[in-house]
Amino acid sequence: MLEFNQKGLVQPLILVLLLIGIVIGTFLVQQQTQFFSKAVEKSQVAQACSHNPKSAFCILLKRACGQKCLETESISTPATQPKYFLFQFNPAPNSNEDFIVRVENPQLIQQLTDDLKASRRLIISGIVQQGNGGFNHNGVRYWNWYLGGTLIAGESFIEVCDARPSQVEQDVHNWIGQQYCPWENHVAAVYDFPPPLSEYKPTPTPKISPRPSEEGSICIQVIVRACLKENPKMCKDFPTPCDVPEGWVVF
């Protein structure tokens, strides 16, 4: 009789132990929910459970906090908030040569922000893309191109990729897909959102100088770039349009 009672108690005891184990497991999962607050760890858990949803751990996790704990979208890593940097022409500011670059890389954002507060010597470089990206303009009108690809900043680049924004605009079809590094444009402002055309005040247009040229005409005081007609790759800046000699073409 005693032996029968002992055997009869085995199965109920096992069931009780299983129930206790489930309760303890559920409690532990609930207590450790904050452990999964980090996006990367949560993403790994979601991916693991998507491959093996019937595992004991995933079943307990689902019972503890619901299906949302296993959804990748709800625990994905938030994207870095992009910044929009305004680059102005130097040394003679000219609003017609301004352009805007969208930057998503946190390190580059910090690098350009630091340069904005300091020497403003960095040159931006990237690949010319078709269109304006919804943000690239000079304060007056949108360009038909924008900088994309892998953006980098430095104090010097090869001269082959240097040009004014207006020169890129004039020959935009040949610039698409090419590296662009405007030496004379430097960071002047940063925005959290793409500034509209009227967001920032364009640099005033240079005034007419009273200094007459050799021919007696009035000459505008603005630095211009000209290239040798016989060798278009040979370009240089001149203090005024009147100083450009014959055989050179102004861009």
Going residue by residue through the chain (251 aa), what tens digit of pLDDT does each one get? 445 455 566 677 777 777 777 777 666 656 554 444 444 445 555 665 665 666 666 666 566 666 655 554 444 445 679 999 999 887 655 568 899 999 999 999 999 999 998 888 899 999 999 999 999 998 889 999 999 999 999 888 877 899 999 999 999 999 999 999 998 888 989 999 998 886 555 444 444 344 444 455 556 666 667 776 776 666 666 667 777 787 777 76
What total number of domains does the chain contain?
Answer: 3
pLDDT of residue 135: 95
Residue 13 belongs to what domain range? 2-75
pLDDT of residue 47: 61
Domain check: are 98 and 66 in the same one? no
Amino acid at 65: C
CA distances from 191 to 86, 157, 184 (A): 8, 26, 21
Select from 51, 75, 99 the last residue of a domain. 75
Contacts of 14 (CB under 8 A, 6+ apart): none
Indicate whether 122 belongs to any domain: yes
Residue 248 to residue 18: CA distance in whole angstroms: 91
Domain check: are 67 and 87 in the same one? no
Burial class (CB in 10 A: 0-12, 13-18, 19+), 201: exposed
What is the three-class DSSP state of 136? coil
Residues 182, 157: contact at Cβ < 8 Å? no
Q: If you search the block for the tokens 């959804």, which residue do you land on?
A: 71
Indicate whether 166 belongs to any domain: yes
